[in-house]
Each structure stands twice: as C-alpha cells, then as structure tokens.
C-alpha cells in the first residue's frame, strides 16, 4: 500500500494522546465506608476486571478511529501501472468536443454540458499543484498554455458550440504539441467526445508513447437526420430575366426512410421554389428546383428544410451574381478580326473589348471570363506566361492561330499546358465529318439534330499534335483529326482551333455554327466565385484583384457582425484569409468602405450531420496506443481517473472504518456495563 500524501502520516503521533490519557487517568474516587468488607472486596475485584476490559476496548476503538482518519488524509492506494506518477507534478491536456453534434440531447442534457462536467471531474482527480490544458475544436491560441485547476474550470465553463470539426489525428497532434514542452512532468491527455465515425479516416492514430491517452466517449441517442450536402446551378453565367435550375443534393444520414421532407428556396428573402422529397435510408439524392425572374446583381440564396430534432444543418446558404453584361477580351495582332467583332456585337449581353498583343493589361486579365486570341503570328513570352496563369486560375482561353503562325512559337506556348498545338499546315480541302453532341458546348444548341447537317467546309488547316495531351474534340475532320478541341487545365479551359478565322482556311467565319458555339463557350466560361464556402475548411478565398489600404480595409459583414480578414495580394488575384474568425454560417457582404464588392456564403461542415458513432472496439483498433477507453454512466468519473493514475483508492474505505470505530466507542461507553452484580444477606 502506498500513500498519495504521505506527509499526513506524521499525524499518527496523535495516537499517543489516547494512550497517555488511558495510562494517567486522574479521575478521583469517592470513599464509601462499609461495616463488612468481605462481600465488598469480592464485588470490587469483579468490577475492576470488567472495567479494565471495557477501557481497553474503548482505547482500541479510539486508536483505530484516529488511525484510519489519518490514513484517509494521507490517501492510501494499491499501486497500479501508473503508481510511479504519485507525488510528481502532472501536465494534463483535456480536449472537450464542442462541435455541432454535441448539441444532441441525452438523459443528462446536451452532450456538451456533460462533457464540460466530466472535464471538471477529471481535473478534480488530480492534485492542486498539477497543471491543465483545455482544448476545443477551435484550436485557439489562448488554449496553448497550462492552467491551474481553478483557471481550468473557468475556461471549461466558457466553452460554446463551434462550427469547427477536427479529425482525431489533428486533436492528438495538438495535445502533443503542448505536452511535449513539459518533459519533466508526467503527461496525460483526455479526449471527451461522442466520437462520430467521421472523426477519423480509419487510419491508425500516431501518438507519442510517453503520453497517457484516455478516451472518454459520451453516449448520444440515435437520431434521424436529413441535410443538404451541396448545391449547384446548371448554368455558368446567369442572365437577368432568364430561368435557372438548381440541383440540390440531399443526404439521409439515418437508417430509416425520410418521407415528404419539405424544402424551400429563398432568394433575397423571397420564396422562389417549394418542394417535398422522400429519401431512402442512408442514401444521397439529387433533386432539381426551377426558378426565374431574377434581377441583376448579387443573389443571396438560402435553402430551408424542416427536419427535427437535429436542426443545426436545416439551412444551406449560397450566393451567385446575375450579370447585366459579360466582359470578353479579344487579343489580336495589329488588325481586329471582323468576324469575332461581328459575333459578339449580335448580343448586347457580351461586352467585347479588343486590344493588340502589345498593349495587354496583364493585371486585368482575371476580370475576363473569356479571352480569345487570333491573328497573332508569334505570342510574346510575357503574354504567354500570363495566359498560362490565367487558365490555371479558372479562365477560359480560345486560340485561333494566325494564317502565318510561327509554329515553333505556338508549340512553346501550348505544349507546356498539355494542349494540342499546330504542327504543320495541310493544304488539301476537306469537310468537318462529325461534331461531339455529348460535349457541353453542343448539348443545348440543337432541338433535333438533322440527318444530313451542313458542316463547315475546309480549304486548308493546321494539323494539331495531341500526342501528349488529353482533350475532347468539338468537331472532327475525316480520320478523327481535330478541327476544334477543348482541354481542361487546372481550373480553366483551353479551346484550340485547327484553322485561322478567315475565308482562306474555311467557311467557319460565315457558317451558322460559329455564333451559337462561340456563345455557348462564352456562357460556359463563367469562372465566378464558388456558390458557397465551408466554415473551418475553406480558410482562404481567392478574389479578382482588389486594392486595399489601412484607410480602405476589406470587411465581411453579416448584420451586426463585422470581420476584417487578412488580405494578401498575389499575381492576378487577391486572397482573403478568414482563419477561425468566422463562427456563424450565413451570407456575408464583402465591402470596401460603403461599396459591396461581392457576397460570400458560408455553411457549416456537413461532416457533423452524420449521427453515427464509433464503438469501443472501433476506437481500440483506430487508436491502439490509448491507455483507456471510458464510457461513463451518470456517476462521477473522478474515482475512475484516480484509479487510472495511482491504482485503487482506499481513502473512502478509511473514512468508513474510522466512522465504524467511532460508533463502536459510543456503543461501548453507553451500553457495555461489565461486572455489575447484586447480592443479598444479613449483616
């Protein structure tokens, strides 16, 4: 048996006090005179023997009561596997899961309230001189220090629900980062969570063997839940007054069928669509909502569904911009291409700007969804590099080679992007043999495709070398030669034509297909910002170039909430870093002074919507280095934590025994009457 506080054993010296009192009993006796002492002597001898036994029993009871009382203060225990920790200062890290799933109710209230109570019970199991870290999903800087027990309890009381959702490996690594600075202390870590299945990717957790990890799993009731996982619009460019179609991805996370879930679409506060959907258990379903009558400008949209009792994921926010005009940049040699100008002049929605290749404003390239280059004999190195960057960031580039193109120059420009390049000029006449109706460019052009279509005739063309590139042909010449092809590169697209846009190469400039194909490519080229971002996941946001200063700061505003993000400029774009500043979902206006530059939507991480949990066996398999996996009931876990650290605690038993012996002393004094005899006779 060992003692947690052995200094209290000095109090055993107090055992001498009852012994001294027993040996030196200063009670004075009263003399009684009696005529015949023959019988009195016999009675006195019998009473003295019984009295001695009683006094010895009372003395033993007092000594044992005092002994066990001292032992209780010294906190005895039976040494366990961590017995060597006794008496040493300990550094303890306690992670309290405060993600959205911890709002779930059980018999003890919300899981978060239960986790906070358990965290304080863990701290109370340690000595007053031990130090504690409180850690949450927010990974705040103020939590990267050790606290006293009282400071720890105050920090635990301040924990609130957070939109963040960290993986188990991230949590373990964060705890280790602080505990590894306390090499001279005994290091322990506790993770209090409901341990949803999405907390880990099923890979074994890597942890420091010198740290004692303990998992405390809080049991939640199984609840049905349906959530909107994602949305997307079927058109890339949104025009005022036109109809739109929104695809909504619904996910039923429960094992039961969800029937007639009402769904509502609001745009700028007005209801635009309404639906009701039935989803099979554990399945994902895409449904389409149609709406129209939109005005120009930013659209603040919200999807609402009614799904109880889990409500934190019943809203989904997204934004998009309905444009009055779409800018297009036409880059050519010294002479403007009349056919391109004629194409975009037919629709006032397109605002085409023409510049020659020597006067391009590189900083403004990112503001154009579509750039068309034509009639350039040789593309300069600077322009070539800027166009590559433009495509990688989501821009759409269309290339019509010049009639006198420098083929080596075009190869140096296109080949590094993994795009087919003009290799040699073929001067034989031909005709386009097929078009790719499955390509998005042609999907909505034809109501019905004719049996014998009139396709462009070709007088001469450049043979495109696509040996090191993977793309898709829009149109083909006989022998599956590319006439017009598209390539996805990075976030953007590159369209390459095998002919120059003039009458000497083909009749494409005057063909009926040119205008609809160019319009479709332009409309598909919208590289607007994403419809939504995810809190805790998308920490940086890329925007078109925006200049800011100390007097003209960029701000994210949602009602009364204002956040100033960290702004960093890079070539061709502006990056906003929101880090952990955003804690509420919703639609935020990006403002520069009083002008609104953009509207951004932020949603909670849908990982929290999956209300399925790991079992104890799952946790052992995923985290084999964990010393203990606790699944506490309603009772306090303070005793369990104490036993984990030092072994079975005996102080409660000592108090019980002390009380028993005190009770025995009282009973002996009151009811034990030894040697009392009666006698009769004549004197």
Pick the CATH number of 88-220+613-644 from 3.40.50.410, 3.30.70.1350, 3.40.50.300, 3.40.220.10: 3.40.50.410
Between 19-23, 495-499, 659-663, the lowest mean confidence (pLDDT) is in: 19-23
Q: Indicate whether 307 pLDDT > 90.
A: no
- What does the pLDDT look like over 179-198, one tens digit per residue? 999 888 889 999 999 998 88
Alpha-carbon distance of 425 to 499, in angstroms, equals 9
Tokens representing residue 617 in the block:
């066996």
**What is the torsion angle, in degrees rounded to the nearest 10, for the CA atoms of residue 658, residue 661, residue 666 and residue 671?**
160
pLDDT at 26 over 50: no
Find where tokens 């007097």 sit: 551
pLDDT confidence of residue 203: 80
For the chain, the straight-line distance linking the first and the last C-alpha, in angstroms and rounded, comes to 64
**Residue given tokens 């971002």 in the structure block:** 533
Residues linked to residue 248 through DSSP beta bridges, in sequence order: 231, 287
Q: Print the SS3 string covering 73-107.
A: HHCEECCCCCHHHCCCCEEEEEEECCCHHHHCEEC
Question: What is the C-alpha separation between 333 and 405, in angstroms, rounded?
Answer: 11
Mean pLDDT within 223-244: 86
Q: What integer pLDDT is reported at residue 4 of this predicted model?
A: 67
pLDDT tens digits for 522-534?
A: 988 866 678 999 8
Could you say which architecture CATH assigns to the domain 226-304? Sandwich (2.60)
- Same topology between domain 88-220+613-644 and domain 226-304: no
Query: What does the pLDDT look like over 426-467, one tens digit per residue?
Result: 999 999 999 998 888 887 677 677 778 889 999 999 999 988
User: Above 50 in pLDDT, residue 290?
Assistant: yes
Average pLDDT over the chain, rounded to whole? 85
Closest to 304 measured CA to CA, from 269, 334, 330, 333? 269
Give the class (CATH, top level) of 326-524.
alpha beta
pLDDT in tens, 137-154: 988 888 889 999 999 999
Which is more confident, 496 or 36? 496
Q: Which residue has the tokens 């009931």?
A: 633
Give residue 53's pLDDT.
77
Q: How confident is the model at residue 303 (pLDDT cuts 50, 70, 90)?
A: very high
**Per-residue pLDDT for 471 more than 60?**
yes
User: What is the per-residue pLDDT across 37-72, written as a single tens digit (0 to 9) for each?
Assistant: 555 555 555 455 666 777 778 888 888 888 888 888
Q: Which band of pLDDT confidence, cut at 50, 70 and 90, is reported for residue 201?
A: confident
Q: What are the pLDDT digits (tens) for 630-655? A: 887 766 777 777 766 666 677 788 88
pLDDT of residue 678: 44
DSSP string, 578-597: -TT---S-EEEEEEETTEEE
For the segment 463-476, the average pLDDT, to the nearest whole number, is: 88
Q: Which of 365-374, 437-446, 546-555, 667-676 has the lowest mean pLDDT?
A: 667-676
Residues 6+ apart with CB under 8 A from 534: 602, 603, 604, 605, 606
User: Are 445 and 517 spatial neighbours (Cβ–Cβ below 8 Å)?
Assistant: yes
The span from the CA of 188 to the CA of 179, in Å, is 8
Every domain of the chain and the residues it spans = 2-78+650-671, 88-220+613-644, 226-304, 326-524, 533-603
Per DSSP, the three-state class of 315 is strand
């Amino acid at each position: 048996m060992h003692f947690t506080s052995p200094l209290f054993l000095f109090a055993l010296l107090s055992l001498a006090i009852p012994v001294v009192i027993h040996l030196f009993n200063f009670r004075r006796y009263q003399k009684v005179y009696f005529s015949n002492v023959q019988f009195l002597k016999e009675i006195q001898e019998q009473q003295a023997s019984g009295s001695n036994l009683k006094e010895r029993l009372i003395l033993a009871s007092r000594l044992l009561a005092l002994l066990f009382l001292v032992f209780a203060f010294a906190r005895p225990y039976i040494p366990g596997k961590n017995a060597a920790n006794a008496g040493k200062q300990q550094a303890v890290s306690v992670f309290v899961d405060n993600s959205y799933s911890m709002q779930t109710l059980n018999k003890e209230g919300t899981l978060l309230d239960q986790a906070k109570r358990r965290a304080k019970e863990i701290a109370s199991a340690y000595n007053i001189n031990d130090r504690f870290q409180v850690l949450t999903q927010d990974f705040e800087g103020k939590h990267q220090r050790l606290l006293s027990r009282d400071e720890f309890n105050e920090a635990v009381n301040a924990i609130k629900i957070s939109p963040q959702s960290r993986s188990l490996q991230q949590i373990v690594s964060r705890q280790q980062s602080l505990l590894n600075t306390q090499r001279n202390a005994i290091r322990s870590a506790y993770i209090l969570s409901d341990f949803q299945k999405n907390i880990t990717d099923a890979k074994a957790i890597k942890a420091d063997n010198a740290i004692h990890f303990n998992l405390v799993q809080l049991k939640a009731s199984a609840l049905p839940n349906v959530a909107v996982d994602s949305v997307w619009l079927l058109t890339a460019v949104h025009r005022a007054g036109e109809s739109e179609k929104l695809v909504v991805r619904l996910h039923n996370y429960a094992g039961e069928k969800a029937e007639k879930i009402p769904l509502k679409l609001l745009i700028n506060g007005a209801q635009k669509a309404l639906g009701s959907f039935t989803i099979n258990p554990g399945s994902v379903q895409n449904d389409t909502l149609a709406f129209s009558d939109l005005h120009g400008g930013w659209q603040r949209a919200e999807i609402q569904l009614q799904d109880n009792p889990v409500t934190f994921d019943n809203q989904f926010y997204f934004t998009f911009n309905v444009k009055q005009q779409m800018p297009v940049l036409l880059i050519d040699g010294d002479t403007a291409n009349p056919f391109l100008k004629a194409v975009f002049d037919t629709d006032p929605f397109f605002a085409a700007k023409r510049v020659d290749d020597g006067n391009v404003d590189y900083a403004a390239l990112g503001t154009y969804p579509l750039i068309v280059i034509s009639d350039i004999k040789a593309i300069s190195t600077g322009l070539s590099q800027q166009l590559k960057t433009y495509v990688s960031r989501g821009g759409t580039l269309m290339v019509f080679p010049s009639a006198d193109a420098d083929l080596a120059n075009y190869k140096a420009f296109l080949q590094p992007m993994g795009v087919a390049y003009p290799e040699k000029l073929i001067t034989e006449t031909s005709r386009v043999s097929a078009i790719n109706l499955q390509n998005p460019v042609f999907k909505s052009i034809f109501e019905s495709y004719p049996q014998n279509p009139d396709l462009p005739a070709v007088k001469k063309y450049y043979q495109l070398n696509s040996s090191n590139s993977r793309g898709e042909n829009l149109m083909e010449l006989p022998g599956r030669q590319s006439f017009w092809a598209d390539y996805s590169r990075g976030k953007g697209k590159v369209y390459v034509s095998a002919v120059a846009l003039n009458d000497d190469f083909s009749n494409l400039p005057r063909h009926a297909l040119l205008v609809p194909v160019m319009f479709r490519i332009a409309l598909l080229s919208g590289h607007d910002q994403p419809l939504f971002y995810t809190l805790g996941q998308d920490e940086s946001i890329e925007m078109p170039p925006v200049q800011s200063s100390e007097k003209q700061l960029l701000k994210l505003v949602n009602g009364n909430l204002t956040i100033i993000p960290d702004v960093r400029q890079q070539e061709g774009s502006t990056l906003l870093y929101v880090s952990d500043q955003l804690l509420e979902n919703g639609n935020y206006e990006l403002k520069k002074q009083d002008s609104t530059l953009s509207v951004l939507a932020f949603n909670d991480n849908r990982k929290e919507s999956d209300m399925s949990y790991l079992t104890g066996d799952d946790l052992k398999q995923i985290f084999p280095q964990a010393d203990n996996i606790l699944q506490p009931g309603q009772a306090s876990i303070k005793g369990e934590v104490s036993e984990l650290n030092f072994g079975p605690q005996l102080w409660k038993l000592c108090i019980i025994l002390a009380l028993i012996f005190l009770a025995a002393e009282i009973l002996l004094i009151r009811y034990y009457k030894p040697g009392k005899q009666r006698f009769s006779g004549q004197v």
